């Protein structure tokens, strides 16, 4: 089933750092099953700002057994929703919240040794993964390497301190600061390939011995960390990645192919299958994605990030063909099976049918 939006009430908004807030939602008993989640998943928050429909995905930071759903929102330059969340939202307000989505998840309830590498707001899914894993099994161990500019920019710092005290000997937190000197030179700087290699060499982290290595942060940090882990010899299937990149498709996209240009010039017909119903619309611009074409014609398809990262708009090509401008989330087996992302898909045939209900 496609994800659904429900109206949830904000139970609390807590100032976490000078430029971030933690927003907690109350989930009615009738929606508890719909909003059950696996640690690492995200919520899509939706509201109207200056007359425009605005949606943004934010990772769940609360553990799976929490009474509330909490997300952390850091204010970014020109961030429409993040500015709204940090300056305007208040406890008691209602927001439309999509049921949990996402594949950047960790198994709980079994012995596990995880290495978590996060930068900035990349901590938000990690704190849920860490808390949920440690609560679920007394043999679980977590090492978190967390990069920030300076101490006062560390999101969920107090929560991490409480967790360290509660899970003494099972949770190790390594703070790296790029703009604040620390007593240990190794802890100064950013998370990059050299830093990860140095931490592994000195025994600060054990990537090879980890059951899973989770990476969350900006694209450059992800790329550098992946190279370092590959060089150390970490098996690719142990590495899980969540990229935090600009919203609304601001990252560069591949140019439309000749086939996409040809299909758009002829006014490609697109039919979508969603929740068992069928709707049709046309694509008439080579650079226009299926999602953009649908929105232009008043159709509301599932989406969240618009950046090819989250898979909320995942669907299957059942007739015709399409190309993606970029893809950070679909795996090879999915593209081989015909799946695409509506936010990145461009019709390359005159007739295209996409099934959002396909599993």
Percent of the chain exceeding pLDDT 90 equals: 87
Task: Write b or e for each residue in 311-324: b if 16 or more Cβ atoms lie within 10 A of its Cβ, otherwise e.
Answer: bbbbbbbeebbbbb
Q: What is the pTM of this model?
A: 0.90
Q: What's the CATH code, domain 113-243?
A: 3.40.50.80
Q: Which residues pair with 319 in a beta bridge?
A: 353
Q: At 260, which helix (H) or strand (E)?
A: helix 258-265
**Which tops the pLDDT comparison, 24 or 220?**
24
Dist CA 301 CA 1 (whole Å): 13
Q: Please state, in angstroms and as integers, the Cα–Cα distance from residue 115 to each residue in 10, 62, 150, 179, 234, following that order.
A: 32, 19, 22, 24, 11
What homologous superfamily is domain 258-355 in, according to CATH? Beta-grasp domain (3.10.20.30)
Band of residue 249 on the pLDDT scale cut at 50, 70, 90: very low
Domain locations in the chain?
5-98, 113-243, 258-355
Q: Which CATH architecture has domain 5-98?
A: Beta Barrel (2.40)
Are 163 and 131 a contacting pair, CB within 8 Å? yes
In tens, the pLDDT along 173-230 reads 999 999 999 999 999 999 999 999 999 999 999 999 999 999 999 989 999 999 999 9
Query: Poorest-confidence range of 136-145, 238-247, 283-292, 308-317?
Result: 238-247
């Amino acid at each position: 089933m496609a994800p659904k939006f429900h109206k949830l009430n904000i139970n609390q908004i807590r100032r976490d750092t000078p430029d971030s807030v933690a927003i907690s939602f109350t989930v009615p008993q009738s929606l508890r099953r719909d909003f059950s989640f696996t640690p690492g998943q995200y919520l899509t928050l939706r509201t109207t700002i200056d007359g425009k429909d605005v949606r943004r995905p934010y990772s769940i930071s609360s553990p799976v057994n929490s009474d509330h759903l909490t997300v952390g929102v850091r204010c970014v330059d020109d961030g429409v929703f993040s500015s709204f969340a940090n300056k305007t939202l208040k406890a008691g307000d209602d927001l439309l919240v999509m049921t949990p989505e996402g594949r950047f998840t960790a198994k709980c309830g079994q012995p596990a040794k995880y290495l978590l590498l996060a930068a900035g707001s990349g901590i938000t899914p990690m704190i849920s993964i860490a808390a949920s894993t440690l609560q679920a099994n007394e043999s679980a161990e977590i090492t978190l390497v967390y990069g920030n500019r300076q101490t006062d920019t560390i999101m969920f710092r107090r929560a991490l301190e409480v967790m360290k005290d509660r899970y003494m000997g099972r949770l190790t937190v390594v703070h790296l600061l790029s703009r604040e000197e620390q007593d240990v030179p190794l802890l100064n700087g950013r998370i990059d390939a050299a830093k990860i290699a140095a931490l592994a060499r000195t025994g600060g982290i054990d990537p090879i011995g980890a059951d899973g290595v989770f990476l969350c942060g900006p694209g450059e940090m992800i790329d550098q960390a992946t190279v370092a882990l590959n060089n150390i010899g970490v098996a690719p299937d142990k590495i899980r990645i969540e990229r935090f990149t600009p919203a609304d498709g601001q990252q560069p996209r591949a140019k439309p192919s000749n086939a996409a240009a040809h299909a758009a010039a002829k006014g490609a017909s697109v039919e979508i299958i969603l929740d068992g119903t069928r709707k049709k619309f046309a694509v008439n611009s080579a650079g226009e994605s299926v999602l953009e074409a649908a929105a232009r014609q008043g159709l509301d398809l599932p989406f969240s990030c618009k950046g090819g990262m989250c898979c909320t708009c995942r669907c299957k090509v059942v007739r015709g063909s399409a190309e993606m401008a970029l893809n950070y989330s679909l795996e090879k087996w999915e593209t081989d099976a015909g799946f695409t992302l509506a936010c990145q898909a461009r019709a390359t045939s005159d007739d295209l049918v996409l099934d959002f209900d396909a599993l």
